[in-house]
Each structure stands twice: as C-alpha cells, then as structure tokens.
Chain A
Amino acid sequence: MSEYLSVLIFAVTGAAIVLFTFFISKLIRPHNPYPEKGVTYECAEDAIGDSWIRFNPRFYIFALIFVIFDVEVIFLFPWAVAFGELGLFALVEMVIFILILFFGLFYAWKKGVLKWV
C-alpha cells in the first residue's frame, strides 16, 4: 500500500507546485482585461460564428476502433506476464483472439474506414 501512497504524495506535490506558481504569478502579474483582449484569436479578424464547430465524424469512428483494440492491448498485458507458465495453449488462444480482431481491422481498412479524406 505504501507504494501507492508515495504515488499519491507525488501527485499531490505536483499539483501543489503548479498551484503555487499560479498563486505567485497571480500576485505579481498585471490584471487589465478589456473587451478586445477577451476576443477569441482568429488571425486578428473578428471571430465568425460559433467556436464549437462541426468536425469530421471520422474522428468518432477512429475512437470507436480504438476502444476495441485498446481493450485488446490491455488484455495482452496480463497474458504476456503469465506467458512463461501458460505456454503453447495461451499462444494459440491469443493468436485466435488477435486474428478475429485483425479481421475486424482488415474489414474496416478495406471498407475505407481508415481512409482520411
């Protein structure tokens, strides 16, 4: 448990240092906002329209594929650790598992999902 405790201390220290510098900087920096300063940067022109624009839905598809394969990768970690004891059986099982997922990737690939237009 103490191992995780030191990770926690580490995180807290890191956050504290950042906040501390923010605090110091707040004390010494000027504060003089006026409307022109608060304008969103858009190459020195007035910003047109809403900032939360629509973007390419392809990003979602990539995110979906990612989720599938990330789970696979996480699954590989414990498998790799225990591989020495598991032997051939584990290899065959994992090859089947990966092949199935790879079929999925191949299908997506050939269907043009991975193509960035």
Chain B
Amino acid sequence: MKNQKGQFFSLDFIIAMAIAVLALGMLLHFYELNTYEQQNARTQNELTLIAMNSSNILLNTNNCTAQTSLKNKGYEMHGCTDTSSWGTLTKADLMIPDEFNCYITKGGSPAINGCVDVLLANTPNIAVIERNFLERNLNILKSAYELCLDGGSCTLYTPAKLMVKIWK
C-alpha cells in the first residue's frame, strides 16, 4: 500500500460526482423543455385571443336588421349576423395587428378581402377557431322571427360556419 501514489479522488467520490452531474443535466433538460412549452403556450394563447376577438367583432357588430314592427317591440337581433358588409373589412377593422397574418372563411370560401394571406407549410403556431352562427342579410319580420322562436318551420336564417386562422 505504500506504493499507491497519485490517487487524488476516491472511487466512491467519482461515482457520486458522476451521478450528481447526470442528475443536474437531466434537471436542466427538463427545465429547458418546460420553458419551451411555456413560451409555446404563450404564443398560442396570444393567437387564439386575437382570433376570438376578430370573430367577436365580425359576429357582434353586424347584427341582423329587424323590421320596424319587430324593432318597436324592443327585440335585439343578437346571435344573427348580417354578412353583406364583410367583404370590404380590413385587418384594422378586425383589430388584427399588422405583423399577424389571417385567413378568414365563411362556409369554406374567403369572406374578408383583408384576410386572404397564404399559410406556409412550416408555420409553427397557428390559431384556428370555428364559430357557428345564423346568417340573414335581409330584414327580419316579426312573424317569421317569432315563428322560429316557437319552434315552427324556421327558414329565416341560414346556418353558417365562420373560420378564423391567425398566425405570425
């Protein structure tokens, strides 16, 4: 034993340090993954909120028009949308910032002239939301409106689907 020279660390210590380094490495890797996931979720949330906001603007600011007989009764046309003025809307009208791209369709066809951007295949984060709504571009008569409410044969509205895609 007298000739065992140059041993700086014990074997136990070296093994312990190797395990500690491995554990630390795994911890850092886990932390990095979590940070990436958080960042991704933040971006996705931002896109989803912009998409929801623009869909709300589209559906809630152009309500159907009621004829005088119906308007005088105090009815508000919530849930029914007049889409006749959609075509000329711009990104700014829908409160979509310039640096974001958008593609908005109604029933599968582009509905807004200001939102016909082309989606590239490798785009990392995209928010896609779909809203079902009732469409009516002509005045609504009181008799037809109440017939629908009463569960009669309702042909007043056209069920439509709005799809909003937002990406950066």
Q: Do A and B bind each other?
A: no
On A, residues with C-beta under 8 Å from B are: none
